[in-house]
Chains A and B, each alone.
Chain A
């Protein structure tokens, strides 16, 4: 019986390992991107819309480094929330209205700019979804600060008020 139990546990471990290997082989690029804090493949400048690009997540520490290097903060929340308080230096580009504002945005922000998007913190998908759209529209370095406004504010970092 002991041998039987050992066999079951061993096979369970094999199933687990197999799942990990399969999962990683399908998603190794995403995992590498995240752990490297960057996009691995240099974003191909191509009109191939079938290539799925995803914004890279950054934490607060990395965000501050990138801001020191000239990255631009993008607030993906509604304009009302932006007016109530936003990360200092952030530009508003609401997820709900990006289609209408994209032309102006592109005119003002060069495609090579490192963009860091945020919204209302974990559980808020807008910054990520907007990041996907900006990547599709030619921006090459798009990252997402998932802690968003709450994490920034709670860390005591400077917050600005006022409409865009």
Chain B
């Protein structure tokens, strides 16, 4: 049982960390394109889309990196969990308003589109990884 927990813990944190490290780097690489994706949500005042686009990728990448290197796992999981919660609320609002947009979750220049519904489902999976990483880290010796 202990062994299974260990495997599950490392699997969760590596997958979660790798995912956000990748997402952060690819979005940080083209901030203006990502700002367009944020603007598509039509949630923020005009200039704030750029402020979010300038800072969010770095937060994602740093928290993701911490998870990958197994350092400060619980705080990093809290950050990513909070971000993921905000993403989910934003996606729900997009679905409720009937906007037809790409989620902009990863590559802002992607040619294929990820629907808000699919992105929401994916975020639910990510939330599970957050919970697993946080909870299993708490059960391991410090």
Contacts and interface: CB of A to CB of B under 8 A. Distances in A.
Interface of A: 8-12, 14-16, 18-20, 22-24, 26-28, 30-31, 34-35, 54, 57, 59, 122-123, 125, 128, 146
B32 to A, nearest CB: 5
Contacts of A27: 31, 53-55
Contacts of B79: 12, 15-16, 19
Interface residues of B, number: 33
B56 interface: yes
25 contacts: A9-B75, A12-B79, A15-B75, A15-B79, A19-B56, A19-B58, A19-B61, A19-B62, A19-B79, A22-B62, A23-B28, A23-B56, A23-B58, A26-B28, A26-B54, A28-B54, A30-B54, A31-B51, A31-B54, A34-B47, A35-B50, A122-B40, A123-B36, A146-B36, A146-B39
B72 interface: yes
A123 B36 CA distance: 7
Contact of A16 (B28, B59, B72): B59
B50 A15 contact: no
A19 B72 CA distance: 15
Contacts of B53: 27
B141 to A, nearest CB: 14
Contacts of B117: none
A8 B78 contact: yes
A57 B45 CA distance: 13
B74 interface: yes
A126 to B, nearest CB: 11
B57 A122 contact: no
A125 B36 contact: yes
Given A12-B78, A15-B66, A23 B55 contact: yes
A91 to B, nearest CB: 23
B59 to A, nearest CB: 3
B68 to A, nearest CB: 14
Contact of B32 (A12, A54, A59): A54
A128 B46 contact: no
A22 B56 CA distance: 10
B101 interface: yes
A20 B63 contact: no
Q: Which of A9, A11, A28 has the most CB of B within 10 A?
A: A11
The 4 lowest CB-CB distance pairs between A and B, nearest first, are A19-B59, A23-B58, A23-B55, A11-B75
Contacts of B57: 23
A9 B79 CA distance: 9
Contact of B76 (A15, A31, A125, A128): A15
A24 B55 contact: yes
Contacts of B82: 12
Nearest to A37: B47
Contacts of A22: 58, 62
